Amino acid sequence: MIGKFISIEGIEGAGKSTQLAFIERYLSQAGINVVVTREPGGTQLGEQVRELLLAPREGGMAVDTELLLMSAARAEHLDQVIKPALERGDWVLSDRFVDATFAYQGGGRGIATDRIEQISAWTLNGLQTDTTFLFDLPVEVGQQRVISRKGDIDRFEQEKTVFFQKIRDCYLQRAEQEPNRVKVIDANKSIEEIELQLTAILKSLISA
C-alpha cells in the first residue's frame, strides 16, 4: 500500500516548525509510521545544497541558479527519501515541497510559471502531495516573529516585505486553484485553534 504525502508551506514566521511537530505526533499516535523531512535538504547532498541556498552572500545569487539548485536538491530528495518511503507504505511529512518553488522562485523572484512547471514536471514525474497545509498569516506578523527569534537570519529571511507579500499572494492563488489539495490554515490564531483546524483535516486523511 502506498503511503500518503503531506507537505507544509507558508511564509517565514508562519509557525511551520511548531505545527510540523504536532502533525508528526498526531499521526504517530494514530499508529502511522511517519518520515519527517524538509526542503531544501532531506538528504546529505540536499543539506549541502541547502547551505548554499540559505547562506547570506555578497552579490546574491542568480534567480535561475536558485531555481536549478532547488530542483536538483528535490530530485535527490525524491529518489533517496520520499519515493522509497511512500513505496514502503510510510507517510511522508515534508517541511516545504514544490509549492514553495512556485511561491518563492515564481512569486517572489518573478520566474515565469511555465518555466517552473517544465522543470517541476521533469523532477516530479507525476508525483504530488496528497495534502498541503498552507499556514497563512499577514506578512508583517511573520516578519515580527522572525525578528523576535534568537540567532542569525538566512538569505531569504533578509528579504523585504514586498518579496514576502508576493510569496503569500502566490501561495493563496495556488490554494484557490487546488482547494482539494491545498488546505489554508489560519496561522494567526492561537496554537490550540490551529491544532483544531489540523486535526479535522488529519482525521479525514486517515479515514480516507
Q: State how far the alpha carbon of 13 is from the alpha carbons of 64, 134, 200, in Å.
A: 25, 13, 23
* Domain around 74: 5-207
CA atoms within 13 A on the CB side of 8: 26
Domain count, the chain: 1
Burial profile 17-29: b = 16 or more Cβ within 10 angstroms, e = fewer: eebbeebbebbee
CATH code for the domain of 158: 3.40.50.300
Query: Which residues in the chain land under pLDDT 50?
Result: none
Cα–chain center distance at 8: 5
pLDDT of the residue at 105: 97
pLDDT of residue 171: 98
Q: What is the pLDDT of residue 157?
A: 83
Q: What are the beta bridge partners of residue 203?
A: none
Look at the block and give the residue holding cell 497545509.
133
pLDDT of residue 150: 61
Place of cell 516585505: 161
Phi, psi of 3 (to 5 degrees): -75, 180
Question: How many CB atoms are located within 10 Å of the residue 125 CB?
Answer: 10
Query: Backbone phi, then psi, for 131, in 5-degree steps?
Result: -145, 140
* pTM as predicted: 0.94
Grid coordinates representing 80 are 533517496
Answer whether 142's CB lies under 8 Å from 132's CB. Answer: no
d(CA 202, CA 208): 10
Report the pLDDT value the prediction gives residue 158, as an integer from 0 to 100: 83
Backbone angles phi, psi at 115, to 5 degrees: -70, -40
